[in-house]
Chains A and B, each alone.
Chain A
Amino acid sequence: MFADLGHLSVIFAFVACLYAAVVAPLGAQRNDDRLVQSGRIAALMTFPLVLIGCLGLWHALLTHDFGVQYVASVSSRATPVFFRITALWGSQNGSLLFWCLIMSAFVAAAMVRDWEDAGDKSLLPYVTMTMALVLGFFLFLELFLANAFVRTDFPPQDGRGLNPLLRHPGMIIHPPMLYAGYTGLLVPFAFCIASLITRRSDDLWLRSSRRWTLVGWAFLTAGLLLGGRWAHDVLGWGGYWGWDPSENKPLITWLIATPFLHSAMIQEKRGMFKNWNVFLMMLTFASMFFGTAFIRSGLLTSVHAFAASDIGPFFMGAMVVILTACAALWLTRLDVLRSENKLDSAFSREGIFLIQNVLFLSTAFTVFIGTIFPILSEAISGTKITVGPPFFDQTVGPQLAALVALMGVAPLLAWGKSNGAAVGRQMLGPLTFAAAVMVALLAAGATQPVPLLLFGLCAYTLAQTVMEYVRGARARMHSMNEPAPLALVRLAQRNQRRYGGYLVHLGVVLLAIGVIGKGFYGYDTITTPAVKLNESFTVGDYTFTYRGIRPVPCEFNDCQTIQAMLLVTSAKDGRVLGAVFPHRDHYPVQQHTATIPAISGTFNTEVYVLLAAWEDGGATASFQVYINPLINWIWVGGIVMILGFVVCFWKAPERETVTSPAVAQRAIRAGVPAR
């Protein structure tokens, strides 16, 4: 009964979207605020309505209502309560409903914000319309093409259980994070469309949606990292990234949203790049839809194949129509979006932002081409050719390295025009530091030139970013007579976006160090021939001794686990370091076997062991061993990036605005904002 009520509620949400999408712009046309407000409330109501839908499905999952087909396909009587809750997004139809829930939450949040400002008020009808249309589109898919509420006349006794791959903590928060990332970026998109419709030439849409863009970006970043962590722990890839289409899709969106965050600043500060920002926003939106269309249609094989269905072609067709309409709208507004200023000099912050933007987009395009290459090659030559990680490493890697280099130069440049000599002077210190790091690495035996240079690059950018804080704090200490710690805190408070952004840069550098470490110094070995009982083999600095396999109780009650034990000793001095227990979980109902790695080692060197196969009841077994140097830096870098976002986003409490005349005068002379 609750599931059916949920179904009805989702239908009402769909109707509310249609109503809002028609009534809000009608109100604007007739200049009648009552209609606009009614549309706004209808859009707002979609959230509670879709939530009732989700609660209905959750109820069915928790009460084993196998009469609902979806419930039978993603849960069983043996599924623990926790996974019955997360099973809501365990397959296509439910995950689409969950996607709608998160999107409606963003729609509702955008609707309840303060719209009293006259400028914002002029955008409201069209923001409502755009958001309601997009949400309505997804609700349409949910209701008519991928309905999670469909009932069967012959309910099975038991369900199939949750996909074994999805039983991981990372999988529980990774999809909601990614969904929130995508749908968060819908808000700036809606403001962009509203700005175009109302022929506004200013940066109101950017300013009004700035914080939303940040939220969307942060969720996308967190979703990507958690997805990597999940792949690392569950898929047995040995690493964090496999260039799988389902990973590339959010990466492409991230690679477009990130330059947008930067170029939006240029429009706000200099009134330039207006068309470019609209273009980036539309591209962000397009990337999210095309990616979803490709993967969900089953056109591309991915680890997300479990989410494939027949909504793809419809999705694609509808998206072509929507994007053509957006592009047409934009083209008719080109005259409104002329730049207010000219580029004073290419050697300026806006100049380097432009280079950075182009580089980001070319990286996104490279990933895109690599991802859809199977489709392209099939269309051209008739054979599906998949390009693997080497293609991506060789084409994307250098571009990412160039971006890290830009991060070390861009903060040195001023808006308008920069001073070459001053920039050179400020580079000296960090360059010296980088040289010292390279010499130290060389002395420690790192002789490969490419990773050595890349580590040097990271050291330079790291030092330069830290120096930015030092320079800013020093300027404050000098002009405001503040002690160093206070100056540092005030500096970040007064310009949260800049210094929060630099913290994100620091996170990226740490992440890059992890990528370089794993990419150049990591290696893996598969033991051939198979290892006999009590036989040893050595990988890197570690010696492994095979001690046999045994069945152990499975973590979940619908699988059988076979666990191997390996004793680990130091290859150098024979010291016993411990034991590792890689295992394989077999799920008979789903006919799936998960190879779960044993992960150990130190912070700087991870040892990742997989049980590949065994024979004669464990008399021989073969293992795949990965040595992953510095991989943990990736997760640390990710956490620092999210901290950077918090600094950008944190709304500092209202400040005391009265400053003593002496301090104010000093500040005016010094050119540092007193407040």
Chain B
Amino acid sequence: MLSLGTLLLGLALLIIVALVVALPLFDRKTPAIELPSRREALAQERRAVISAIRELDFDYHTGKISAEDYKRLREARVARGAQILRELAELADEHGATDVEAEIEAQVARLRKVATSDGRAPARAVCPSCSRVVGADDKFCSQCGRRLQPRQSEAVASAE
């Protein structure tokens, strides 16, 4: 027979696990599966074709394949790659700009707005360590990770 202590501990364990498992059920409903799109399939094939071309180049360079076979196989693979790119471009035309492109446009628009809001270029700075252009408010360089002093960014700010 189980002791009372064991039973209580077991019960506590059960309640904790049940709560944790049930937690997502209280969320807002979202679709479980986003159907794989044609674009996704094409992008994947594009990756495969690029990888195949790289392998082929490498095999040719290490002397494993003759020049004419290399040329023929590479042409076939490049042709397939071009076809994929064309299809991807057509898809992009059909559906308008892709999400990523829309995101980029939005970012550019935001930056333009910042730049023109006070009639002059946004404050900019360069990292003293790697010379990458950084934002005036940045605390660290996004390239080399160096900590940026507020004074340093101000010193070179608004050069334009």
Contacts and interface: CB of A to CB of B under 8 A. Distances in A.
Interface string B1-39: 011011001100110010011111101011111111100
B21 A5 contact: no
Contacts of B61: 475, 479, 670-672
B31 A31 contact: yes
B17 A45 contact: yes
Contacts of A122: 33-36
A33 B26 CA distance: 11
A204 B43 CA distance: 12
A269 B64 contact: no
Contacts of B66: 419, 421-422
Contacts of B31: 31-33
B59 A414 contact: yes
Contacts of B35: 122
A423 B58 CA distance: 15
B88 interface: no
Contacts of B115: none
B35 to A, nearest CB: 7
Interface string A408-444: 0000111111110111011000000000000000000
Report the interface size class on chain A. Answer: 35 or more
A516 interface: no
B29 A33 contact: yes
Contacts of A413: 64
B97 interface: no
A495 B62 CA distance: 14
B13 A9 contact: yes
A12 B3 contact: no
Report the interface size class on chain B. Answer: 35 or more
A59 interface: no
B73 interface: yes
A415 B52 contact: yes
A27 B32 contact: yes
Contacts of B54: 671, 673
Given A4-B2, A8-B13, A422 B48 contact: no
A19 B18 CA distance: 11
Contact of B51 (A19, A52, A269): A269
A271 B48 contact: yes
A38 B55 CA distance: 42
A94 B41 CA distance: 46
B119 interface: no
B25 to A, nearest CB: 5
B48 A268 contact: yes
Contacts of B13: 5, 8-9, 12, 49, 52
B22 A28 contact: no
Contact of B27 (A34, A118, A202, A426): A34
B108 interface: no
Nearest to A268: B48
Interface in A28-55: 28, 30-38, 41-42, 45, 49, 52
Interface in B46-78: 48, 51-52, 54-66, 69, 73
A190 to B, nearest CB: 17
B154 to A, nearest CB: 28
Contacts, number: 153
B24 A41 contact: yes
A16 B21 contact: yes
A417 B30 contact: no
B55 A269 contact: yes
B56 A8 contact: no
Contacts of B73: 344, 416-417
B44 interface: yes
Given A45-B20, A118-B34, A414 B27 contact: no
Contacts of A45: 17, 20-21
A483 interface: no
A200 interface: yes
A41 B10 contact: no
Give the residue among B24, B31, B32 with the most A Cβ atoms within 10 A: B32
A419 B62 contact: no
B40 interface: yes
Contacts of A321: none
A125 interface: yes
A671 B54 CA distance: 7
Interface in A104-163: 118-119, 121-122, 125
Contacts of A204: 44
A414 B64 contact: yes
A1 interface: yes
29 contacts: A1-B5, A4-B2, A4-B3, A5-B6, A5-B9, A12-B14, A16-B21, A33-B32, A35-B25, A37-B24, A41-B21, A118-B36, A119-B36, A121-B33, A125-B32, A202-B44, A268-B48, A271-B48, A414-B59, A415-B56, A415-B59, A416-B65, A421-B66, A422-B66, A426-B63, A426-B64, A475-B62, A479-B61, A671-B57
Interface of A: 1, 4-5, 8-9, 12, 16, 19, 27-28, 30-38, 41-42, 45, 49, 52, 118-119, 121-122, 125, 200, 202-204, 268-271, 344, 412-419, 421-423, 425-426, 471-472, 475, 479, 495, 670-673
For the complex of A and B, list the 3 residue pairs with the smallest distance between their C-beta atoms, beginning with the closest.
A671-B57, A414-B59, A37-B24
